Structure 1
Amino acid sequence: MIIEYKVKNFKSFKNEIILSMVADNNRELSDTNLFQYENMTLLKSAAIFGSNASGKSNLIESFSFFNDLFSAYVDINKMLSNLPYFKLDTESKNKPISYEISFFLNGKRHRYGIEIDSKGIYSEWLYFVPKRQEACYFERKRNEIVRTGTYFEDRKALDYIKPDAIRPFLFTLAQDSIKEFVWAKEIINYLKFYIRPSNLPEVFFKSMIEEEILKNSGKGILTKEEVLSFLKDADICITDISVLKKKTDEDDLFSQFVEFMQQKGASIESNELETYMHHSKYDEQYNIVGEEKFPLDAESRGTAKLYALIYPIFFVLKVGGFLLIDEIESSLHPLLCERIIRLFNNSKTNPHNAQLIFTTHNTLLMNPKLLRRDQIYFIEKNKYGVSNMYSLYDIDLDIRSNFNYLNNYLAGRFGAIPYLVDFNISI
């Protein structure tokens, strides 16, 4: 699980911003929205509010960019030639993009950071807490390992394992050809598979669900019965779902998806499957006389969006991890968004303490019965194009039992809202 995430000089984040999942010292919704791990109390979810173009999506994108550094199929040289550093001043292009993430893995706290500029890896560090004090695995400056700690173990391996100028040293240590550093493989596996952005193409998750339903092994992430139950609980008016082979040729959307996944290293051969939603058919007296099947692309945009979200939601709830959703309210009703959030804040549906981070414009979710103050973040961009992030808990407020977050936010008391004037147009 994630403890803290920092990013600096990435897109609109000129200065360092910190997303902390450590709970503050208050009792709000403590029985549902918090969990204890080792000696820390952590948040199960966090919401990020802000006006359009404030930088909310940049936070989600920074996680994806960070993860791409550990993909063997991403063209790192291409990344370095077009780094997304802050571009609205004259100095930031000469500074590295910086990330640091703290997390628990195998019962131990880890802290990993990396800085990258147009020349490659500027610096890199990895620490963990084996007992009570933080210990160093390694520190790197450019192409030199400047420090290794006791737990690095086989220092002689550095005679033949050298840092790659454009690749993280952690990535190098985790290669299959290197057997000495199991801890590096475990950390890479965590960073690649347990941090799940939902901003991949919807057709990717749709394909994953279709494969799971066809296998029907009961050993995968989800079953047809679970998908159907989820959709029915969401008041999608269907009686059944089925996955059938397509009769049409590949469409342009899937061709784009195939190209995208091939860049990520996946092997996808053809677009053979399609999901169908079953609807009851009635006679003039409203008696059920049969059913009609509609392909998913004939359903509403909200149904397609919800269907695609099922896979990443079930994945983290069943396996554990960290799910990122940009604009959770896109095509979804506010009450449905609330239900998804409550899945994470419920120990019965979230036994592995998976965590959810989402951005939203939906102020109805700013509800003290749904989210604690330390779960509500704001991102605000100043006139110089610099985004800043802060928590509602950090704002000095006289909170009483009837305090209305929504009304105070829309009144501008928390910032992070658009200051609008009448549109000056002539028709």
Structure 2
Amino acid sequence: MLLRFRVANYASLRDEQELSLVALDDHDDLAVRRPIDDDLSVLPAAAVYGGNASGKSNLLEAMHFMQEAVCHSHLGWGPEAAIPRNSFRFDDDIRRKPSEFCVDIAVDGVHYEYGFAVDDEVVRSEWLYCFVKRQRRVRRVLFERSGPEWTSIRFGGHLKGRKRAIAEFVRPNSLYLSVAAANNHPQLTKIYGWFSNQMIYIDAGVPVPHLPYTLHLAATPDRSAVLDLLNYADLGISDIRQEPLVLDNELRDRFMAVLKVVDPDRTPDLGFAVEAATRVDFIHRVRGKEYALPLENESSGTRSWFALLGPILEALAHGMVLVVDELNAFLHPLLVSELVNLFQDPTYNRQGAQLVFNTHDSFLLSPLSKARLRRDQVWLTDRDEDGATTLRPLTDYRVRDGLDSVFRGYLLGRYRGIPIFDEGLLEELILRHTHMHGDPPRKGSETEAGELT
């Protein structure tokens, strides 16, 4: 499970920001878990709110970058390749400094802290600690790296196996954790596995890349779960039909070329190309007759919901962390509320799955919403005059009543995290535009319109 995520100098996240899923209150009605031998409780969901360009997407993209670096720095990044980080752009000194990423996670009942710092060319530092509870919490060093060279790696006594021999394969631009997993180090492969198998990142506004999850499930005995959630969303769909399309060599090569352009640092996955080349028809039953409608002819909301179903079901079945950018994209607020409730409700979430998402959907904060978000599950992003993002928990603010007060307070801007509109600027714009196009100004506005010119 994910306990905390910290990041600094990534996109608009200039200074270190922390997102925590550690519960601050008791929530007996939520799917809260205690994944380690401790009193620490972990939340099933966290929502990030903020105005456009406030940095809420950057926070989740930073989590995705960390995942990609762990999974691909050794085998996917070339020996001389630059590190594809996205540092803070509005300060030249900060831009040249390393970007830092760190997670606290629970794996097999043990609390680990893993992190690294990278610049545009090399890994500057990397560390892995575990925490053991005796009379007090004790931090054990598994390894620490203080520079690009493999000789800078120091190992703790609790890390067993071929640790030094594996270190010789580390490049300046690759993470030791990635190299260790590629060489089957038993302890470190478990930590690597959390990033590779226990976390799914999704941009809900671009559903196509995530279709293979759902298409795969819809072709297995688990297809009934996909159909049930489609029907639950009241989309009028009674069945799904898939028909693989035959790709000739020329079309396959073109498809692979497009994938290579999208991600030049990674070898295109032919399996993904084949799965994506599938005709999908949704079957609608209307007045006793069945009609097939191709996926591409369905509404944006239907396509988005369908693409999300596979990752949702995978996360719930295997206790994974599902990270979704713009969860409300194309979806009705009531449907988003139901989706969040799948993770919140212990009846459905029995394996400790977690949902981390950002959204503009203020209805989720309403007492009418089934999402039941608590104050320690809500985070707010703001952008300051330097273009830097600040992330704050809703618990930093006093809320007199329950969710109703949170809902009203958010819409009124009491906690920030919303766009601030300059009504004076809007009035100037309309007056200027009206005057430029020669329309007669409103009565009493001639002087004002003249001053604007």
Give the TM-score, by structure 1 length.
0.88
Which residue is 1:365 aligned to? 364
1:167 equivalenced with 2:174 (yes/no): yes
For 1:189, the aligned partner's letter is G
2:104 corresponds to which of 91, 102, 120: 102
Deviations 1:202-232 (A, max 9, x none): 3333233323433x3x3xxxx2211111100
The Cα of 1:87 is off from its aligned counterpart by 1.2
Shift of 1:367: 3.1
Per the alignment, residue 280 of structure 1 pairs with: 285
Deviation at 1:409, TM superposition (A): 1.2
Between 403-412 and 118-127, the greater mean CA deviation after superposition: 403-412
Find the counterpart in structure 2 of residue 66 from structure 1.
66
Instruction: State the 1:265 CA deviation.
Output: 5.2
1:195 equivalent in structure 2: 199
* 1:418 paired residue number: 419
Aligned to 1:55: 55
Q: Gaps (5+ residues) in structure 2?
A: 435-453
Whole-angstrom distance in 2 between the partners of 1:105 and 1:22: 15
1:195 deviates by 1.3
State the match for 1:6 in structure 2: 6
Distance 1:255 1:164 in 2: 28
**Structure 2 residue aligned with 1:240:** 239
Aligned position for 2:441? none
Q: Please name the residue that 1:404 is paired with.
A: 405
Residue 398 to residue 404, structure 1, CA distance change in 2 (3 Å): closer
Find the aligned partners of 1:351 and 1:232 in 2 and give their Cα distance.
22
Where 2:126 maps in the other structure, the secondary structure is strand
Asked if 1:334 corresponds to 2:333, the answer is yes
- Partner residue, 1:44: 44
Deviation at 1:401, TM superposition (A): 4.5
Q: How many angstroms apart in 2 are the aligned matches of 1:264 and 1:347?
A: 40
2:152 counterpart of 1:149? no
Give, in whole Å, the separation in 2 of the partners of 1:354 and 1:253. 38
- 2:11 is aligned with 1:31: no
Structure 2: how far apart are the matches of 1:57 and 1:125? 26
- Does the 8 Å CA contact 2:29/2:345 hold for their aligned counterparts? no
For 1:207 and 1:170, the matched residues in 2 are separated by 28
Match in the other structure for 2:451: none
| Equivalent in 92, 95, 98 of residue 93 of structure 1 | 95
For 1:84, the equivalent position in structure 2 comes to 86
Could you list the per-position Cα deviations for residues 329-368 of structure 1 after superposition, in whole angstroms to 9, with x for gaps in the alignment?
Answer: 1100000000000000112211111110010011111135
Distance 2:123 2:95 in 1: 15
- Paired with 2:51 and 2:253, the residues of 1 have a C-alpha distance of 33
1:79: how far off?
Answer: 4.3
Q: CA deviation at 1:91?
A: 1.3
What secondary structure does 2:422 align onto?
coil
Question: In structure 2, what is the Cα distance between the partners aligned to 1:419 and 1:256?
Answer: 43
Q: Which amino acid aligns with 2:281?
A: Y
Flag the 1:20–1:256 CA change in 2: closer, same or farther, 3 A. Answer: farther
The residue number in structure 1 matching 2:450 is none
Moved more, 120-129 or 151-160: 151-160
In the other structure, the counterpart of 2:214 is 209
**SS of alignment partner, residue 63 of structure 1:** helix
Q: Which runs of 5+ in 1 are unaligned?
A: 283-287
Structure 1 window deviating more from structure 2 (42-51 vs 66-75): it is 66-75
CA offset digits 1:52-86 (Å, max 9, x no partner): 00001101111121122121224575442x53111
Query: 55-64 or 156-165, which moves further after superposition?
Result: 156-165
Aligned to 2:19: 19
Match of 1:318 in 2: 317
User: Does the CA contact (< 8 Å) of 1:203 and 1:257 recur in 2?
Assistant: no
Q: 1:136 aligns with which of 113, 135, 141?
A: 141
State the Cα RMSD in Å.
2.6
CA contact (8 A) 1:48 1:359 kept: yes
Contact preservation (8 Å) 2:218, 2:240: no
Describe how 1:370-385 pairs up with structure 2 within 5 A.
370-385=372-387
2:363 aligned with 1:343: no
The 1:147–1:252 alpha-carbon spacing in structure 2 relative to 1, beyond 3 Å, is: closer
Q: Using a 3 Å threshold, how does the CA distance of structure 1 residues 402 and 110 change in structure 2: closer, same or farther?
A: closer
The structure having more radius of gyration, on CA atoms, is 2
- The 1:303–1:156 alpha-carbon spacing in structure 2 relative to 1, beyond 3 Å, is closer
Question: How many residue pairs end up in the alignment?
Answer: 408
Give the equivalent residue in structure 2 for 1:295: 294
**Alpha-carbon spacing, 1:155–1:174, altered in 2? closer, same or farther (3 Å):** closer
* Secondary structure, aligned partner of 1:157: helix
AA matched with 1:342: N
Range that drifts further, 301-310 or 188-197? 188-197
**Aligned partners of 1:342, 1:253: CA distance in 2, in Å?**
42
Quick one: structure 1 residues 252 and 363, their matched pair in 2 at CA, closer, same or farther if it must change by over 3 Å?
A: farther
Q: Residue type of the partner of 1:410?
A: L
Give the SS at the match of 1:134: strand
Q: Are the aligned partners of 1:210 and 1:274 in contact in 2 as well (CA < 8 Å)?
A: no
CA pair 385-239 structure 1, distance change in 2 beyond 3 A: same
Distance 1:258 1:243 in 2: 23
Alpha-carbon contact 1:204-1:257 (below 8 Å) kept: no
Q: Distance in 2 between matches of 1:353 and 1:159?
A: 33
One-letter amino acid of the structure 2 residue matched with residue 185 of structure 1: T
Question: In structure 1, the residue corresponding to 2:33 is in which secondary structure?
Answer: strand
Output the CA distance in 2 between the equivalents of 1:232 and 1:291.
15
Q: Give the equivalent residue in structure 2 for 1:285.
A: none
Distance 2:101 2:195 in 1: 13
Deviation (angstroms), 1:156: 7.4
Residue 226 of structure 2 is aligned to residue 227 of structure 1: yes
Judge which range, 82-91 or 339-348, deviates more. Answer: 82-91
SS in 2 for 1:329: coil
User: Which structure: greater helix fraction?
Assistant: 2
Identity %: 27
Partners of 1:314 and 1:246 in 2: how far apart? 26
The residue that corresponds to 1:184 in the other structure is 188
